[in-house]
Amino acid sequence: MNCKKFYNAEYVFDSDGVPKCNCGGIIKPDVVLYQEGLDVEILNDSINAILNADMLIVAGTSLTVQPAASLINYFEGKNLVLINKDATQYDYKADLIINEGLGKVFNEI
């Protein structure tokens, strides 16, 4: 988190406790965690990709955490697929809804 150096998963799995960088900083996964802001450039790229998509598959999210949840509103394509264990507030927009766990669905695919 201090020096932005990247480590592979093997290094992290082999660490005892919280994985540390050789600079002494903490290593965190390269994902956006709760309470963290989204990178503006990545957010804009995501909006452009969604605007130009024919199909959007949204999987493994209850679509309740903003601003990521509202990205679905940029979709103007034909086929919206929602895969989530429970219903979401966007189910009415979907062409296909699969209410199953993500692991089970992708295993069957």
Residues binding Zn ion (CB under 5 A): 3, 5, 21, 23, 25
Minimum Å gap between C-beta 41 and Zn ion is 23
- Angle, CA of 74, 31 and 88, to the nearest 5°: 45
Minimum Å gap between C-beta 5 and Zn ion is 5
Comparing CB distances to Zn ion, the nearer of 24 and 37 is 24
Minimum Å gap between C-beta 29 and Zn ion is 15
CA distance 49 to 62: 21
Side-chain half-sphere exposure of 34, counting CA atoms within 13 A: 2
